[in-house]
Chain A
Amino acid sequence: MQIKVEGLKYTYSPKTPFEKVALDDISFTINEGDTIGIIGSTGSGKSTLCQHFNALIRISHGKIFVGDMELHSKKLDLGVLRKTVGMLFQYPEYQLFADTVKDDVEFGPLNFGMPKEEVGELAKYALELTGLDFDAVKDKSPFELSGGQKRRAAIAGVIASRPEILVLDEPTAGLDPQGKKEILDLVKKLKESYVKTVIMISHNMDEIAEYCNRVIVLNDSKLIYDTTPRELFSNPEKLKETGLEVPHVVAISSMLKEGGIDLGETPLTKEEFISLLTRRLKCEK
């Protein structure tokens, strides 16, 4: 399912002294199968943009198509849209509310009117997909779980209704290195199941480089890049102008270039960097 954004504009508190343009004439397309990173400094409009994808913010100017649903249309069926586009907010563990983990995970599917007999299965599958032991956690209160488990349970609550498109707002915020890696690997695993498209907001360029096949950069409410991570990071100077960092391996390779060692290609992971470098050093000899 494709997402198409055309000329999207959004202003907070319009026509008041607090008026603030959050999105200014944004157009781009997300194809089925993409893992697309949305980056930009805080306040650049990333979250506002993503909240449009499942109509948590209604469109005031411009158009968005999700498959054949028109988000700018008044006749939009919100239930169908929100079931199709799952949205994981920042620190999602703070939305847990039900008596048991199972009830919490079933909340979404039940709201979307999925048949009761199926919902139990969906919850089980979702919880297991996130790496939690269904039998061990299902009857526990979500507030009894550890920090990492809570986040997994919250993710299960979003993916239980089998969204085709998954929007993640800084899914790794506040986690330690291992926790981060586990969540990102989980996202990868989800893409091998029913989630076809992933849209991920992140501040961590190493994550974007490693996990995304496309990237969109917002700056000051405007879309300034729509490209691949390799393209984007091959020009680190330009990116720095927008106040964003580059991945470590990109920083190292651009310093090497200044020192006379051109790797030829922009590396995105440590492994790529090492193989590019060793190939280059062998040529030298």
Chain B
Amino acid sequence: MREVSFGQYYPSNSAVHKMDARVKLLLTIAFIVMVFLVKSLYAYIAIGVFILLTTLVSRVPVLKVLKSIKAIIFIVVIMSIINLFANAEGKVLCSWWIFTITDGGIITAVNLALRLIFLVMGTSLLTYTTTPMELTDGMESLMYPLKLIKVPTHDIAIIMSIALRFIPILMEEVDKIMMAQKARGACFDRGGLLQRAKALLPVLIPLFVSAFRRADELALALDARCYNATPNRTKYKKATLAIRDLIATLITGIFIVLVVAINNNFWGLY
């Protein structure tokens, strides 16, 4: 019933969708590194514009990408608040009891919040435009060097694909079990932290039992479909690099240079 937006593929025929998953993965990683390196507000604005443009090109509704933030908004708020008070550098703006807010604190908090938000928006844009299968195949392919030292990259890829598929199913299951226990008078939003954690047991235990049951059945289904039958497994979807991947890499590369330049105030904007 609930829309689980994190990690859901949004089908479309856009240029971003058609890109090679490996390229998208690498670009996303580059994007994340960049987000964590920049500090200036102008650079953030540039990143925001970049995400917006990419979203428009990908034809994923902007609202959907924004919705992905909802899942982490709680963490963002908590982390920001901690940072707000933990950082005591700079000019004191107001002070009450043991709490002091400084402009340094505000800047750190905003920085952190924006980083997390961009991080989630960037990765969910990746998962919206790439099917989990492409994604895991892409990862498998990028992990190729590990295969040489006998790391079972293929099994890892399958595990990731299955995990992605079961996230929405298990989320729905949590909803159902919570409702059922609420109907038996359970209360999840009362009492202290310990009490709340304890109240979650009637949800977590059935959830684990169910996850194990599903895993059992899934293992049978994998075997029934000859998983690991031959080492010469074929691949239905073969990824090939195209011109568009090159162009996308160039654009992203230029953009990263641009942001770094803005961040270091290359043009003396501020």
- Give the interface of A toward B (CB within 8 A): 12-13, 16-18, 51, 54, 56, 79, 82-83, 86-87, 89, 92, 94-98, 107-108, 110-112, 143, 157-158, 161
Contact of B3 among A13, A56, A83 (CB under 8 A): A13
Residues of B with C-beta under 8 A to A110? 185
Nearest neighbor of B199 in chain A, beta-carbon distance:
A111
Residues of A with C-beta under 8 A to B177? 94-95
Q: How far is the CA of A56 from the CA of B184 in the complex (A)?
A: 11
Q: Is the CB of A82 within 8 A of B182?
A: yes
Contact of B183 among A12, A89, A94, A97 (CB under 8 A): A89
Q: Is the CB of A56 within 8 A of B182?
A: yes
Q: How far is the CA of A200 from the CA of B168 in the complex (A)?
A: 28
Contact of A17 among B61, B179, B182, B205 (CB under 8 A): B61
Residues of A with C-beta under 8 A to B183? 54, 56, 82, 86-87, 89, 158
Residues of A with C-beta under 8 A to B64? 17
Q: Provide the main secondary structure of the chain B interface.
A: helix
Q: Is the CB of A108 within 8 A of B185?
A: yes
- Give the interface of B toward A (CB within 8 A): 1, 3, 61, 63-64, 176-177, 179-187, 201-203, 205-206, 209-210
Nearest neighbor of A113 in chain B, beta-carbon distance:
B185
Q: Is the CB of B184 within 8 A of A96?
A: no
Q: How far is the CA of A158 from the CA of B184 in the complex (A)?
A: 7
* Residue of A18, A111, A157 contacting most chain B CB atoms (<10 Å): A111
Closest CB-CB distance, A14 to chain B, in whole Å?
A: 12
Q: How far is the CA of A54 from the CA of B182 in the complex (A)?
A: 10
Q: Is the CB of B185 within 8 A of A96?
A: no
Nearest neighbor of B202 in chain A, beta-carbon distance:
A97
Residues of A with C-beta under 8 A to B3? 13, 16, 18
Contact of A82 among B1, B185, B206 (CB under 8 A): B185
Interface contacts (Cβ under 8 Å), in number, total: 64
Contact of B185 among A13, A16, A83 (CB under 8 A): A83
Contact of B184 among A13, A18, A94, A111 (CB under 8 A): A111
Instruction: List 9 A-B pairs, minimum CB-CB distance, nearest first.
Output: A111-B185, A108-B184, A97-B205, A87-B183, A95-B180, A89-B180, A112-B185, A97-B202, A56-B179
* Residue of B64, B206, B210 contacting most chain A CB atoms (<10 Å): B206
Nearest neighbor of A89 in chain B, beta-carbon distance:
B180
Q: Is the CB of B63 within 8 A of A107?
A: no
Residues of B with C-beta under 8 A to A86? 183
Name 14 A/B residue pairs within 8 A (Cβ), A-sorted.
Answer: A12-B1, A13-B3, A16-B3, A56-B179, A82-B184, A82-B185, A86-B183, A87-B183, A95-B181, A97-B201, A97-B203, A98-B202, A107-B185, A158-B184
Q: How far is the CA of A92 from the CA of B181 in the complex (A)?
A: 10
Nearest neighbor of A90 in chain B, beta-carbon distance:
B176
* Residue of B3, B61, B63, B180 contacting most chain A CB atoms (<10 Å): B180
Q: How far is the CA of A252 from the CA of B182 in the complex (A)?
A: 44
Q: Is the CB of B179 within 8 A of A143?
A: no
Residues of A with C-beta under 8 A to B203? 97
Q: How far is the CA of A200 from the CA of B75 in the complex (A)?
A: 41
Nearest neighbor of B182 in chain A, beta-carbon distance:
A56
* Residue of B184, B202, B203, B209 contacting most chain A CB atoms (<10 Å): B184
* Residue of A94, A108, A143 contacting most chain B CB atoms (<10 Å): A94
Q: A97-B205, A158-B183 are in contact. List 9 more A-B contacts (CB 8 A).
A: A17-B64, A18-B3, A86-B183, A89-B180, A89-B183, A97-B209, A107-B202, A111-B186, A161-B185
